[in-house]
Amino acid sequence: MHKPLRIAAIAAACAVAGAGLCGAGAATAGQSTANSTHEPYNIGLLVKDIDTYYGTTADADGVYQASPDSPYAKDLARLDKAARTYIDQAARKARHKGEKPAVVFDIDDTLLLSLDYEKRYNYTYNATTWADYVNRADRPAVFGSPELVRYAEKKGVAVFYNSGLSEAQRPAAVENLKKIGAEVNLDADHMFLKDKANPPSYLSACATPGTWNCTTVQYKAGTRKHIEDDLGYEIIANFGDQYSDLDGGYADRTYKLPNPTYFVS
């Protein structure tokens, strides 16, 4: 899921916070630090900027949480408002054309916030600690996400999940989504997770039993293609915190949620 690329995290933070965050000393996307005389953006200052963006605070149990009054929360509220208006209009239009409208959500940092993990492990990734964290099934919601899932269902739109979590993490994902109130279509027919041991036939171009060569874009776009071409839905909106969640087509509109802490290619 994660890739411990700090330069990528810097680029993501710059994109979120704007040009003011990235001054003359910042490394830019595609720039090789080894061949540059410009000092990269200071990691300590970057972490402070990320904490400011999230309004990061530790609760009574020592768990790092984002503030509902933070710039992060305000960005999500603007996205949520626009998405609701669009879903309402697009769903009615799709049904008028005889189509079955659907929306697709990524899970990590689109529905379930991983800020506490990022803070505790200094924005690095370890497969063992990440698996333990996911299996605790106690991540808080990304602000507004459960409500948006339920809103889509209320409008008669089928909800699907398209996640980089593994098949072994399905029970924890379902339990956590129930806890935050996103209890909509949490069955295997609507929640698509990575099954590297027995990949579905619609991913045969990049995955066969025991051999997984799919990029994130191939996996996620291939799953959306399956939802549209094989299951007969029209994906009116696709939500994700990474551009790799969204690239590859098979969605009428995409919504990129903010995430300045890691990058998945």
Q: Give the tens place of pLDDT for each residue, 63-96.
A: 999 999 999 999 999 999 999 999 999 999 999 9
Nearest CA to 258 among 4, 46, 77? 77
Tokens encoding 208: 């066969």
At 255, list the tokens.
């919504």
118: CB partners within 8 A, 6+ apart: 261, 262
Residue 79, strand partner residues: none
At 254 the pLDDT is 98
Examine the domain organization and report whether 87 and 218 are in the same domain: yes
In terms of domains, do 114 and 196 share one? yes
What's the predicted TM-score (pTM) here? 0.86
User: Does residue 236 surpass a pLDDT of 60?
Assistant: yes
pLDDT digits (tens, 9 = 90+) for 145-198: 999 999 999 999 999 999 999 999 999 999 999 999 999 999 999 999 999 999
Residue 10: both structure tokens together: 């810097």
Q: β-strands 57-58, 64-65: how paired?
A: antiparallel
Q: State how many domains the chain has.
A: 2
| C-alpha–C-alpha distance, residues 238 and 3, integer Å | 22
Domain end call among 37, 65, 93: 65
Flag whether 262 is in a domain.
no
Mean pLDDT confidence for 94-103: 97
**Pairwise CA distance, residues 126 & 64, whole Å:** 19
Q: How do residues 193-218 score in pLDDT, each as one tens digit?
A: 999 999 999 999 999 998 999 999 99
Q: Of 65, 81, 101, which one is at a domain's C-terminal end?
A: 65
Q: Are 250 and 228 in contact, with CB atoms under 8 Å apart?
A: yes
160, 103 Cβ separation under 8 angstroms: yes
Is residue 210 domain-shared with residue 112, that is, in the same domain? yes
Residue 1 lies in a domain: no
Residues 149, 187 share a domain: yes
- Helices within 101-141 (DSSP H only): 115-120, 127-135
Q: Tell me: do 210 and 181 sit in the same domain.
A: yes
> Does residue 152 share a domain with residue 91?
yes
Provide the 3-class DSSP secondary structure of residue 235: strand
- Single residue among 35, 65, 95 that ends a domain in this structure: 65
**202 and 96 in one domain?**
yes
* CB-CB contact of 93 with 234 (8 Å): no
**What 3-state class would DSSP assign to 238?**
strand
pLDDT of residue 52: 98
With respect to residue 263, please indicate whether it lies within any of the assigned structural domains.
no
Residues 45 and 93 occupy one common structural domain:
no
Q: Please check whether residues 76 and 161 belong to one and the same domain.
A: yes
Say if residue 98 is in the same domain as residue 185: yes
CATH code: domain of residue 152? 3.40.50.1000
In a domain, residue 261? The reply is no
Q: Residue 115 is encoded by which pair of tokens?
A: 């800020």
* In a shared domain, residues 27 and 57: yes
207 strand-pairing partners: 212
d(CA 67, CA 123) in angstroms, rounded, equals 19
Which residue pairs, CB below 8 angstroms and at least 24 apart, start in 98-101?
99/233, 99/234, 100/158, 100/232, 100/233, 100/234, 101/156, 101/157, 101/158, 101/233, 101/234, 101/236
| Domain enclosing residue 23, as ranges | 6-65
Task: Please list, residue by residue across 106-134, b when 16 or more beta carbons sit within 10 angstroms of its beta carbon and e when fewer do.
Answer: bbbbbbbbbbbbbbeeebeeeeeebeebb
Residues 229 and 129 both lie in one domain: yes
How many Cβ atoms are within 10 Å of 246's Cβ, its own excluded?
Answer: 23
